[in-house]
Amino acid sequence: MTSSSDLPAGPAAVPADLMAAVAAGDEAAFRAVYRRYAPIAYGLALRVVRDPHLAQDALQEAFADIWASAATFDPRSSSVRAWVMLLVHRRAVDRVRREQAERDRGTAWTAGRHEPAHDHVAEVVELRAEHRRVRVALDGLTPLQREVLELAYHGGLTHHQVAARLDIPLGTAKTRIRDALRSLRTALEDDL
């Protein structure tokens, strides 16, 4: 980056000359353009986005564009002020669109996640019928099968603990639990 010491950077600087210097990589000229146009550009961005933080973001993006594309500025087609304001306006509108798109995505996601209303009465009736089926199937088990299932599933005991509680070998406890589950499954399948 170069710095042009013979170019006035203050209020007396000609805006088109400043832009030419910015195009050549003159950081001092870029700072002068920023000081001159940032306040009104920020005001425009704020009017468009209606949020100070988003306006600052739009302003920053626009001035990054100005630095990167200063060589494309044509003083015959517009003033520096108009060109800067055009870039700031575009960035501010982009910010508004981006924020709206994010809100729309959030709304769409939330709408997609909405659970349809349930028929709670039907749900309760189904649940009670299922409980009745399980109770009938459990009543069809032998007392030994019922006992191992109650210890393992209602009592939360492991196979080792069931064997120790009933004072039976581990293999026998596992076989009783497996047989009880098989009988229960058969009874529930037959009930359908």
Cα–Cα distance for residue pair 172/156, rounded to 1 Å: 18
pLDDT digits (tens, 9 = 90+) for 18-54: 999 999 999 999 999 999 999 999 999 999 999 999 9
**How many other β-carbons are positioned within 10 Å of the β-carbon of residue 143?**
6
CA distance 84 to 68: 13
CA angle 177/180/186 to nearest 5° reads: 140
Q: Is CATH 1.10.10.10 the right assignment for the domain spanning 15-112?
A: no
What residues does CATH 1.10.1740.10 cover in the chain? 15-112
Q: Give the per-residue pLDDT at 78.
A: 93
* Mean pLDDT in residue range 70-94: 96
Beta bridge partners, 2, equal 26
Lowest mean pLDDT among 30-39, 78-87, 133-142, 166-175: 133-142
120-191 CATH: 1.10.10.10
> Cα(151)–Cα(160) distance, rounded to whole angstroms?
11
Q: Which range has the worst mean pLDDT, 44-48, 82-86, 102-106, 111-115? A: 111-115
Q: Is pLDDT at 108 greater than 90 in this prediction?
A: no
For CATH 1.10.10.10, the residue range(s) in the chain are 120-191
